[in-house]
Amino acid sequence: MEKTVYTLCFMCSVRCPIKVQVKDGQVRWIEGNPQVPGMEGSLCPRGSAGISLLYDRERLQTPLIRDGERGEGRWRKASWNEALDYVAEKLKKIISEYGPQSLVMGERTNLSTHVSKTFLKALGSPNHFTHDALCKGSVNTACRSLFGYTDAQIGIDYKNTRHIVLYGRNIFEAIAVKEVNGLMDAIQAGAKVTYIDPRVSVTATKADRYWMIRPGTDLALNYALIHVILQERLYDAAYVDRWVLGLSELQDFVQPFTPQWAEQETGIPADEIIDFARKISRDKPSVIFHYGYRGAHQQNEIHLRRSILILNALMGSVEAKGGIFFKKGPGALGKKPARKLTDQTLPKVTTVRFDKVGTPDFPLPDPAHGVPQVLTEAILKENPYPIKALIANRFDPLKSIPDTNGMKKALEKLDLIVTIDINMSDIAWYSDVILPESIYLERTDCIQQANGLKPQMFLRRQAVQPRYDTREAAIILKQLAERLDIGQYFPYQTMEELVEWQLEPTGFTLKDFEAKGFVAYGKDPIFWDRQDGIQFKTPSGKIELVSSLLENAGFPSFPPYPKAPEPAENRFRLTVGRVALHTHVSTQNNPLLSELFPENVLWINTAKAKAIGIQNNDRVEVSSSVGSGTIRAFVTDFIHPEAVFMVHGFGHEAKTASRCFNKGLADNVLQENLTDWVGGSPALHDTFVTVKRVQ
């Protein structure tokens, strides 16, 4: 029996539409959905490795209950009933003793996040968080401060751009397939790429202009660019007059930030900065200053992200063809989105969050996502209250939150750690109970509301039966909810029933997704009228350079520029990033991906390496104030002397993930747990390390 299933990849969170061919209950072939522009067969390497995940014997196969000490790796297999009863029992006890807020659930944002949120709310805990803020909390806040929309409500029109500027947005290695192909089309049509990064990534090798900027000084570069653009009146005057508030304050502020000043700070020649400002302004408004995927580098991250967005505003590229645009939902066509479980009337939870987001202590981050890196301290100091139970859903606090050693100490204080995952992640290894999840090819998932220039809905459909004794997270949580007497908020038995429930108000049914894997609400792209129709959601209805969001919370819109410290002798700024062959911390054990990229290495500048006696391939010890570890050195001219770099996601500790166990080094063992207290991101590039050869 052969069948074709249109569904969504989940080898990373991008959710590319895919076409899966199944024969006799086995997945034989996966390719990008040929009916979706920008996919047309394409998959990134992780997407191409989907079948090897499906058949990987090292996946989690059955519920497990810990049998030895935490982290010892001794388990007993349990039935689902036994495991769920066990978790429910423990949770009941913890909640009755410490209150519902003592339960925290962290997850990688996914299609059933509304189910997880419902679960916590129904129990009375405010403590749901997603991984989002670790990646881009400050981007989210920056977008709201200027436009009144989150970053998730903004899109990028790659295909029609004339010039794109990437601040370490390593678009050809941290891959989202449609973005790559959209940009490739633009490049074919003559678009220019400017890439700014202390390290030569693959994207740098494809750029028309590359600046090896001094690490930590992108903001200085941007202030100088703004200086030139304002001074030489290179901006889109009509657009700025109509839509931008606070230009004169900006003008006063950037006065001292001349290109000559920026040259000192960034290492980029002043004349190149001026030349670039002039050149890019010729292509306005079809230009993109990319505000980033990851915006989690420094403690003043929000101001870097704001400066990038301000450059777009000055070029008039906000809501422009070939620029950035606001995503339109079904509402724009008078239609309805899919329902979410959180749309039900749920108990109101007024308890302060563990991360204090939404209180005067931490007013601005998005409470829809929370701020995960605060968890360590919240647990250790029992501030604002004791936290006793953690459910980690496809999220690994031990590998994703800075300062692994700190997190390990915090975990010791918990009475219950439950992990829902597909692999033996490090947090699974340290858990009391593991509830194995079915992988994307084995499950139907909640509706993906894909807003954009053309609002659409996508659906992940089950292609094959689960190979092992695994379930979907939305079913696991429902079954747990029933045991905790909150089952009434989960009105479904199967994923199909849940999806049908979601679709009810939309006028579409499950069947409508069969032919292509998606449905579209309308045909034509929707741009708002640039003269009168842009619906900014700020209090003023304009782009607020002087931001009421910031100022009302007591933060200045233009604080003084903090000079980037020069690392002391033999110290380096630790920078981290991605590679095309892996997704964050979750694919290192994949048979095919680990073969091609088994471990990370430490990029270090040739001259610096020589000075401290390090040769290519030497094993080196890297140390920071919070941790240390060893890794092989990659000595190269193609990284700035002040920085070292490593790919994120390595140094796994779970022994039964045998292909990646103990391979490479975890960046977050070294990273200090620092936060941008305005925007919400951690500062992943503000740790300085020493490097020495292992004798």
Partner 1 sequence: MSKYYLLQDKKKCIGCHSCEIVCKSNKSLPVGPKLCQIITVGPKMINGLPKAAYVFMPCFHCENPWCVAACPTGAMQKRAKDGIVFVDHSLCVGCKACITACPWGAPQWNPEIGKVVKCDYCKDRIDDGLKPACVTVCTTHCLSFGLTETLPDIRRQRHAEAVAGLDA
**In the complex with ligand SF4, which residue's Cβ is closer, 27 or 228?**
27
DSSP annotation of 530: T
* H-state helical runs in 99-233: 113-123, 132-147, 177-188, 202-205, 218-231
Applying CB under 6 A, which of residues 19, 27, 47, 543 lies at the interface with ligand SF4?
47
**In the complex with ligand SF4, which residue's Cβ is closer, 328 or 582?**
582
Separation CA 525–CA 534 (nearest Å) = 15
Q: Is 14 in the site for ligand SF4 (CB under 6 A)?
A: yes
Q: Is 515 in the site for partner 1 (CB under 8 A)?
A: no
Which two structure tokens, joined as six digits, stand for 431?
A: 């858990």
Number of residues interacting with ligand SF4: please give it, by CB under 6 A: 13
**In the complex with partner 1, which residue's Cβ is closer, 182 or 455?**
182
* Dihedral, CA of residue 463, residue 468, residue 473 and residue 475, to nearest 10: 90
Burial 304-340 (b: 16+ CB within 10 A, else e): bbbbbbbbbbbbbbbbbbbbbbbbbbbebbeebbbbb
Q: Is 51 in the site for partner 1 (CB under 8 A)?
A: yes
Q: Is 436 in the site for partner 1 (CB under 8 A)?
A: no
Separation CA 589–CA 84 (nearest Å) = 27
Applying CB under 8 A, which of residues 237, 515, 520, 596 lies at the interface with partner 1?
596
Q: Is 649 in the site for ligand SF4 (CB under 6 A)?
A: no
Applying CB under 6 A, which of residues 53, 177, 314, 428 lies at the interface with ligand SF4?
177
> Which residues inside 195-234 make contact with partner 1, applying CB under 8 A?
200, 202, 204-210
Q: Binding partner of residue 15 among partner 1, ligand SF4, none, CB under 5 to 8 Å per kind?
A: ligand SF4
> Which residues inside 548-587 make contact with partner 1, applying CB under 8 A?
580-581
**In the complex with partner 1, which residue's Cβ is closer, 70 or 209?**
209
Which two structure tokens, joined as six digits, stand for 545?
A: 């350079």
How many other CB atoms sit within 10 Å of the CB of residue 291? 25
Which two structure tokens, joined as six digits, stand for 559?
A: 């604080």
Applying CB under 6 A, which of residues 5, 6, 7, 12 lies at the interface with ligand SF4?
12
Q: Is 176 in the site for ligand SF4 (CB under 6 A)?
A: yes
Which two structure tokens, joined as six digits, stand for 42?
A: 């394409």
Q: Is 277 in the site for ligand SF4 (CB under 6 A)?
A: no
**In the complex with partner 1, which residue's Cβ is closer, 515 or 596?**
596
Separation CA 548–CA 538 (nearest Å) = 8
Q: Binding partner of residue 596 among ligand SF4, partner 1, none, CB under 5 to 8 Å per kind?
A: partner 1
Beta partners for 324?
156, 318
3 state DSSP class of 570: coil
Distances (CA, A) of 123 to 96, 102, 126, 307, 437: 11, 11, 9, 41, 22
**In the complex with partner 1, which residue's Cβ is closer, 270 or 352?**
270
> Which residues inside 188-217 make contact with ligand SF4, applying CB under 6 A?
none
Q: Binding partner of residue 613 among partner 1, ligand SF4, none, CB under 5 to 8 Å per kind?
A: none
Q: Which stretch binds partner 1 (CB under 8 A): 26-34, 119-127, 516-524, 674-682?
A: 26-34
Q: Binding partner of residue 386 among partner 1, ligand SF4, none, CB under 5 to 8 Å per kind?
A: none
**In the complex with ligand SF4, which residue's Cβ is closer, 14 or 311?**
14
**In the complex with partner 1, which residue's Cβ is closer, 241 or 595?**
595
Q: Is 9 in the site for ligand SF4 (CB under 6 A)?
A: yes
Separation CA 10–CA 16 (nearest Å) = 8
Main-chain dihedrals φ then ψ at residue 661, nearest 5 degrees: -60, 125
**In the complex with partner 1, which residue's Cβ is closer, 128 or 214?**
214
Applying CB under 6 A, which of residues 44, 64, 105, 171 lies at the interface with ligand SF4?
44
Applying CB under 6 A, which of residues 5, 15, 567, 581 lies at the interface with ligand SF4?
15
Q: Binding partner of residue 176 among partner 1, ligand SF4, none, CB under 5 to 8 Å per kind?
A: ligand SF4
Applying CB under 6 A, which of residues 5, 6, 7, 16 lies at the interface with ligand SF4?
16
**In the complex with ligand SF4, which residue's Cβ is closer, 171 or 609?**
171
**In the complex with partner 1, which residue's Cβ is closer, 172 or 239?**
172
Distances (CA, A) of 375 to 127, 130, 401, 460, 601: 10, 12, 9, 32, 29
Q: Is 52 in the site for partner 1 (CB under 8 A)?
A: yes
Q: Which residue is nearest to ligand SF4 (CB)?
A: 47
**In the complex with partner 1, which residue's Cβ is closer, 183 or 420?**
183
Q: Is 11 in the site for ligand SF4 (CB under 6 A)?
A: yes
**What region does 529 belong to: left with phi over 0, alpha with psi -120 to 50, or beta?**
beta
Q: Which helix (H) or strand (E) holds 584?
A: none
DSSP assignment of 542-565: SEESS-HHHHHTT--SSPPPPPPP
Q: Binding partner of residue 595 among ligand SF4, partner 1, none, CB under 5 to 8 Å per kind?
A: partner 1
Q: Binding partner of residue 60 among partner 1, ligand SF4, none, CB under 5 to 8 Å per kind?
A: none
Q: Is 156 in the site for ligand SF4 (CB under 6 A)?
A: no
**In the complex with ligand SF4, which residue's Cβ is closer, 44 or 689?**
44
DSSP assignment of 141-168: HHHHHHHSS-GGGEEE-GGG-SEEEEES
Pairing state between β 433-436 and 64-66: antiparallel
How many other CB atoms sit within 10 Å of the CB of residue 494? 12
Separation CA 459–CA 499 (nearest Å) = 9
Applying CB under 8 A, which of residues 190, 334, 533, 554 lies at the interface with partner 1?
190
Radius of gyration of the chain from its Cα atoms, rounded to whole angstroms: 25
Angle at 588 between CA 571 and CA 196, to 5 degrees: 45
> Which residues inside 123-182 make contact with partner 1, applying CB under 8 A?
172-173, 175, 177, 180-181
Calculate the CA 365 to chain-centre distance. Answer: 15
**CB–CB of 149/688 below 8 Å?**
no
Contact residues toward ligand SF4 (CB under 6 A) are: 9, 11-12, 14-16, 43-44, 46-47, 175-177
Contact residues toward partner 1 (CB under 8 A) are: 29, 31-32, 40-45, 47-49, 51-52, 172-173, 175, 177, 180-181, 184, 188, 190, 200, 202, 204-210, 580-581, 591-593, 595-596, 638
